[in-house]
A = this chain, B = another copy of it.
Amino acid sequence: MKKVEVIIIGSGTAGLNALSQVKKYTESYLLINGGFFGTTCARVGCMPSKVIIQVADDFHRKHIFKRFGIKGADNIRIDNNEVMEYTRDIRDILVDRVKSSSTDNMPTDKLIKGYANFINHNTIEVNGEQIEATKIIIATGSTPIMPVDFKRFGDKVISTDDLFELEKLPKTMAVIGLGAIGLELGQALNRVGVKITGFDFLHNIGGITDESINKTAIDLISKEFDMHLGQNASLSACDGGIKVHSGDNEIIVEKVLLSIGRKPNLDKSNLENIGVKLDKKGLPVYNINTMQIEDKPIFLCGDASGDRTLLHEASDEGKIAGYNACAKKITKFKRKTHIGIVFTSPNIISVGLGLNQLNKSQTATAEMPMGPVSRALVMGENKGLIRIYADKKTGLLKGAQIIAARAENLAHLLVWAIEKKMTVNEMLQMPFYHPVIEEALQGALYNLKSKLNLKINTPILELPIL
């Protein structure tokens, strides 16, 4: 039987990052990939969605042209089919870049195309051949959830795996599932002319847990398309389309985009053969700081783990799995502070801990509406809300949720501040230029400061003594 030191199953973001570590320590490895090459992100995830969103946001700006003294907005039209073709062109460039710098040029004795199944904890089978490995890394990625109830409607119910392949966009579409992906794609598709109706069984959209941010997000985005929240949506066949039912609401649309989440690609791997307990979702128990499954010589990383399904986390997880698969001793690594961005307009973001994760009596909260923020006013985007949370006793920033223009950038400033264990007072001593969106955050920090009873060792809050 063929034997290697490390097998990596899956050549997506996690698998390739695992490979980057493994290569440092051994030449005895195999990368096995079933299905498409290229990462989920580049093929059907972050990248093609951002292309449609960018086009949609540019097209949407025509609504402000009149106010700005720009003429001709009424005659601006969009060709959906061209948008989709452009999206695929950019996507292909980005997918090609991933592949050409990774799997395209791998020697055939290192890369196997096929689906791997576990025979036991250190043996897999691929294309009918059994291969033994000292360590195995599972980085098989994820697939959009598509229950059989929905699958039976054929190409009338699509996922993000199908969306970007559409040659022609429908005139009407229901988006079921208004998490990050459903919400940002729903808004973008609506902006480029697909009449969208949104559904979610939760009352919260975009993964937001702060009720004020959630309410503001619903208020702002439902001005663009209708949303039905808090009830399950079901489908039935009908002439000329497909009918979506949700509570008392019924609507007929051409297509349904189902965006209710992604499930780890573990069901065809015969995981039960490795001799570990699987939870009710069929997932093994692993350590998020080592990526090791129980005490087995097997590591789980990326979307396949079912947690933190974000590219930058998949990169970290791949590196941890790759390193620990080669190291003599398993090492625990510090994972990153949470940052989540919904690329709607305005952006919706969350960093650090949510109010549902914080002790209410120990937490001070404050907010800043975007209305009076002068730069946002100038941009014509002074809508939204900032909410930030700090520890009452220490003043340490703990988390934030925001709906605002450029919140994706504020999110980085905030998550770095949390990583650096900054207090509200320290943050107020940082430079804030003028006029910038960061000043809205400054406003929120002043409001939060006024709710904290912190000792300040300078007579001027913003300026430390030299």
Q: When the two chains form their complex, are residues B462 and A316 in contact, meaning their CB atoms are under 8 A apart?
A: yes
* Nearest CB in chain B: distance from A226 CB, A: 25
* Nearest CB in chain B: distance from A428 CB, A: 12
Report how far A460 CA is from B290 CA in the complex, Å.
Answer: 12
Given contacts A58-B68, A70-B58, contact A431 B459 (CB under 8 A): no
Answer yes or no: A440 CB below 8 A from chain B CBs: no
Q: When the two chains form their complex, are residues A333 and B466 in contact, meaning their CB atoms are under 8 A apart?
A: yes
Q: Of B41, B67, B68, B73, which contacts A434 at CB under 8 A?
A: B41
Q: Which candidate, A108-116, A270-278, A373-381, is the interface stretch facing chain B?
A: A373-381
Q: When the two chains form their complex, are residues B68 and A83 in contact, meaning their CB atoms are under 8 A apart?
A: yes
Q: When the two chains form their complex, are residues B68 and A86 in contact, meaning their CB atoms are under 8 A apart?
A: yes
Answer yes or no: A208 CB below 8 A from chain B CBs: no
Q: Of B59, B312, B460, which contacts A319 at CB under 8 A?
A: B460
Q: When the two chains form their complex, are residues A460 and B323 in contact, meaning their CB atoms are under 8 A apart?
A: yes
Q: Which residues of B are found within 8 Å of A413, using beta-carbon distances? A: 409, 412-413, 416
Q: Which residues of B are found within 8 Å of A47, using beta-carbon distances? A: 374, 378, 435
Q: When the two chains form their complex, are residues A341 and B465 in contact, meaning their CB atoms are under 8 A apart?
A: no
Q: Which residues of B are found within 8 Å of A75, using beta-carbon distances? A: 72, 75
Q: Which residues of B are found within 8 Å of A7, using beta-carbon distances? A: none
Q: Which residues of B are found within 8 Å of A462, using beta-carbon distances? A: 315-316, 319
Answer yes or no: A211 CB below 8 A from chain B CBs: no
Q: Which residues of B are found within 8 Å of A50, using beta-carbon distances? A: 375, 378, 435
Q: Which residues of B are found within 8 Å of A51, using beta-carbon distances? A: 378
Q: Which candidate, A149-157, A229-237, A417-425, is the interface stretch facing chain B?
A: A417-425
Q: Which residues of B are found within 8 Å of A77, using beta-carbon distances? A: 70-72
Q: Which residues of B are found within 8 Å of A67, using beta-carbon distances? A: 86
Given contacts A339-B433, A431-B339, contact A69 B46 (CB under 8 A): no
Report how far A337 CA is from B464 CA in the complex, Å.
Answer: 13
Q: Which residues of B are found within 8 Å of A420, using beta-carbon distances? A: 420, 422
Q: Which of A46-95 contact B (CB under 8 A)?
A: 46-47, 50-51, 54-55, 58-59, 61, 64-65, 67-73, 75-83, 85-86, 90, 93-94
Q: When the two chains form their complex, are residues A378 and B76 in contact, meaning their CB atoms are under 8 A apart?
A: no
With A46-B435, A58-B61, A333-B465 already in contact, 5 other A-B pairs whose C-beta atoms are closer than 8 Å? A59-B68, A69-B83, A71-B79, A337-B431, A406-B409
Going nearest first, the 10 A-B pairs with the smallest beta carbon separation are A69-B82, A409-B409, A311-B434, A332-B466, A333-B463, A72-B76, A69-B83, A72-B75, A55-B68, A71-B77
